[in-house]
Chains A and B, each alone.
Chain A
């Protein structure tokens, strides 16, 4: 898992740090599973795992394109609203008698348009994505409310709700998990194995350098936001299916969880580093942790405290590890590692 997902060449030290972060996540995962097993005999049953995974899948699916966007040095806060808009339009169309095989492509297309809007304002206008997507976070949610209002649409056919609710025949693997795995595999290969991925890393490290090296920065950025819009829209469809109900407020508050998962996965908030396997592992860790805490009768409120602490620790630990490492290097008389190669180094918010 570690070296197989090599970041750009010539970054050996950096790679080993990343590898260590993923190792840490694997250890955390094993520890959490062990903890869960001691808490309840039902923890290790397939049925339980199936449940704990299903509840987090929309977040996990949106986290995949978010990983690419954050690696490229941007952020998309509007994903939760796009999921809501997608749910609202799907419900509206279904309520108006439009069949789902028309409705779903329409909704995905709207997702692409929303992403295009984000991408064009950010990449063409040169505006900070944090503010632009804050604006579209409100805009898309508002559009969802305008389309569907306060009502919910819930008379979907069972074939559709099966998509979010059901399992792969003969197993207990939920369908959304299959979507997540496919997406993780696809985007993992794109990010870590193709020239597109290398361009994404290059832009995240230094957009100007990337531009002078012939990377079409604007095009890559716009494409990433379009991807994020489509996938957020897909997450909205899955959410609608899993809850058997289309609502304008679907997905409220999910962006924070998506961002938390991505950062827990070791992605640098300022871009330039991060891996898809790391984020996938973080998804599993969070799912297992939430479930273990639930079995231990820890309330949802305390779980949110745990998640927040985990997020902060995910930066503090590598920072201290890095400091300790450079101290050791200095004692040995070695050259200290360049400061900009810390996965979670401090940098300016820009």
Chain B
């Protein structure tokens, strides 16, 4: 597994090679292809799947997960993990809703505060992992309970109802620009494009992959690994904040349990999107597409006559298939590299 760095270059395609190998290496392309094929099959059985209203509604919800998945992907590429994302989303969602309900601040200020809270919580994770040297899986397992506990304490048994929010606040969740592009999808697109540019074309981006694929080598090269990890956790918190605000707009009714259990879906999206949990490989766009894929799967199930109870099992299978495919491709690549070197 040491050779994961061979796949580190985001989006690198070898020029020679069959179509199959291009698809195998490009998780983004294969995910899109699978989605198109499955979408076509589903729409034969259930024509209502391929309607504009259905597609935009699903894409809007999936965009919330996509934004959170981008942050999670950033953390996972640095060879860490953040299990507390769902609790950060929950805290931000309740705080924003509560501020708006009490008319303390107007909508833009509340949104700013919400994203700021997300950033602060993410920075707390970063401090615990990088400064206190707690392994990220332990640290964020801890902050998952701490943040969720805070959420419960702040919210009590209170629930902010849709009527408590200022009129029009939830509109962005249901608005399509130019008649077809949901605002939420645009937000996710902006996040993905920004993230991709930063990871591909900046020094920080290269450092993220370097830290993730080989921390010791990165340290020898003089890369400030802990700073890079701290920034990754902070950005993950910031994006959880954005997702939390979107959560309020989408659902309207918020209590202390918002987002409970969704961290599994977020990590599943990242894994399905081709980001290796061993760190150092994968792309932001892949993670976002993973979220879109899972969102459409959830939507398509009832349309083809499967009950919602199948969803969990299918998610599980999708994760297992995705990681197995990664392993098979990785081994082929390593064998091919070894053969090329031997020649």
Q: Tell me whether B338 is interfacial, beta carbon within 8 Å.
A: no
Which chain A positions have C-beta within 8 A of B279?
348-350
* Contact between chains at B316 and A315 (CB < 8 Å): no
Q: Which of A112-146 contact B (CB under 8 A)?
A: 121, 125-128, 130-132, 134-143, 145-146
Q: Which of B143, B148, B316 contacts A138 (CB 8 A)?
A: B316
Which chain A positions have C-beta within 8 A of B143?
308, 312
- Segment with Cβ contacts to A, from B11-19, B29-37, B178-186, B307-315: B307-315
B92-114: CB near A (< 8 Å → 1, else 0) gives: 00000000000000000000000
Q: Which of B277-335 contact A (CB under 8 A)?
A: 277-279, 307, 309-320, 323-324, 327
What is the bound-complex CA distance between A301 and B144, given in angstroms?
A: 12
Chain A: CB-nearest residue to B330: A126
Q: Tell me whether B153 is interfacial, beta carbon within 8 Å.
A: yes
What is the bound-complex CA distance between A136 and B136, given in angstroms?
A: 22
Please classify the interface of chain A as helix (H, G, I), strand (E, B), loop, or mixed, using the class held by over half of its residues.
helix
* Contact between chains at B271 and A308 (CB < 8 Å): no
Give the Cβ gap from B74 to chain A, nearest Cβ, in Å.
14
Q: Tell me whether B21 is interfacial, beta carbon within 8 Å.
A: no
What is the bound-complex CA distance between A302 and B152, given in angstroms?
A: 8
Q: Tell me whether A307 is interfacial, beta carbon within 8 Å.
A: yes
Q: Which of A128, A146, A150, A263 contacts B278 (CB 8 A)?
A: A128
Which chain A positions have C-beta within 8 A of B144?
256, 308
Q: Which of A135, A303, A304 contacts B320 (CB 8 A)?
A: A135
Which chain A positions have C-beta within 8 A of B312?
138-139, 141-142, 145
Q: Tell me whether B268 is interfacial, beta carbon within 8 Å.
A: yes
Of the four ranges (under 10, 10 to 19, 20 to 34, 35 or more), the interface on chain A belongs to: 35 or more
What is the bound-complex CA distance between A347 and B216, given in angstroms?
A: 11
Give the Cβ gap from A133 to chain B, nearest Cβ, in Å.
10
Chain B: CB-nearest residue to A125: B327
A264-290: CB near B (< 8 Å → 1, else 0) gives: 000001100000000000000000000
Chain A: CB-nearest residue to B152: A301
Q: Tell me whether A346 is interfacial, beta carbon within 8 Å.
A: yes
* Contact between chains at B323 and A301 (CB < 8 Å): no
Q: Tell me whether A305 is interfacial, beta carbon within 8 Å.
A: yes
Q: Tell me whether A309 is interfacial, beta carbon within 8 Å.
A: yes
What is the bound-complex CA distance between A146 and B320, given in angstroms?
A: 19
Give the Cβ gap from B123 to chain A, nearest Cβ, in Å.
15
> Which residues of A are interface residues toward B (Cβ below 8 A)?
121, 125-128, 130-132, 134-143, 145-146, 149-150, 248, 256, 259-260, 263, 269-270, 299-305, 307-309, 311-312, 315-316, 319, 344, 346-350
Give the Cβ gap from A137 to chain B, nearest Cβ, in Å.
7
Among B132, B136, B145, B327, the most chain A Cβ lie within 10 Å of the Cβ of: B145
* Contact between chains at A140 and B316 (CB < 8 Å): yes
* Contact between chains at A312 and B138 (CB < 8 Å): yes
* Contact between chains at B316 and A305 (CB < 8 Å): no
Give the Cβ gap from B287 to chain A, nearest Cβ, in Å.
14
Q: Which of A269, A301, A304 contacts B135 (CB 8 A)?
A: A269
If A149-B309, A302-B149, A308-B146 touch, whether A269 touches B316 (CB-CB below 8 Å) is no
Please classify the interface of chain B as helix (H, G, I), strand (E, B), loop, or mixed, using the class held by over half of its residues.
helix
Give the Cβ gap from A265 to chain B, nearest Cβ, in Å.
13
* Contact between chains at A348 and B215 (CB < 8 Å): yes
Give the Cβ gap from B310 to chain A, nearest Cβ, in Å.
6
Q: Tell me whether B117 is interfacial, beta carbon within 8 Å.
A: no
| The 10 nearest A-B residue pairs measured at CB | A142-B313, A139-B316, A142-B312, A135-B319, A301-B152, A138-B316, A308-B145, A305-B149, A308-B146, A145-B309
Which chain B positions have C-beta within 8 A of A138?
264, 268, 312-313, 315-316, 319
What is the bound-complex CA distance between A235 and B86, given in angstroms?
A: 27
* Contact between chains at A127 and B313 (CB < 8 Å): no
Q: Which of B121-139 contact A (CB under 8 A)?
A: 128, 132-139
What is the bound-complex CA distance between A130 and B267, given in angstroms?
A: 11
Give the Cβ gap from B308 to chain A, nearest Cβ, in Å.
8
What is the bound-complex CA distance between A150 and B271, given in angstroms?
A: 29
A-B contact pairs, 8 of them (CB 8 A): A130-B81, A142-B311, A248-B309, A309-B142, A319-B134, A344-B134, A349-B136, A350-B1
What is the bound-complex CA distance between A290 and B289, given in angstroms?
A: 42
Give the Cβ gap from B335 to chain A, nearest Cβ, in Å.
14
Chain B: CB-nearest residue to A347: B135
Q: Which of A134, A299, A311 contacts B138 (CB 8 A)?
A: A311
Among A125, A126, A248, A349, the most chain B Cβ lie within 10 Å of the Cβ of: A349
What is the bound-complex CA distance between A220 and B310, given in angstroms?
A: 33
Give the Cβ gap from A272 to chain B, nearest Cβ, in Å.
13
If A127-B327, A311-B141 touch, whether A139 touches B153 (CB-CB below 8 Å) is no
If A128-B277, A130-B277, A141-B312 touch, whether A135 touches B323 (CB-CB below 8 Å) is yes
Q: Which of A146, A311, A344, A347 contacts B313 (CB 8 A)?
A: A146
Which chain B positions have C-beta within 8 A of A308?
141-146, 149
If A134-B267, A134-B271, A139-B320 touch, whether A350 touches B278 (CB-CB below 8 Å) is yes
Chain B: CB-nearest residue to A148: B309
Which chain B positions have C-beta within 8 A of A134?
264, 267-268, 271, 319
* Contact between chains at B1 and A121 (CB < 8 Å): no
Which chain B positions have C-beta within 8 A of A141?
312-313, 316
* Contact between chains at A346 and B133 (CB < 8 Å): yes
Chain B: CB-nearest residue to A248: B309
Among B79, B134, B142, B268, the most chain A Cβ lie within 10 Å of the Cβ of: B142
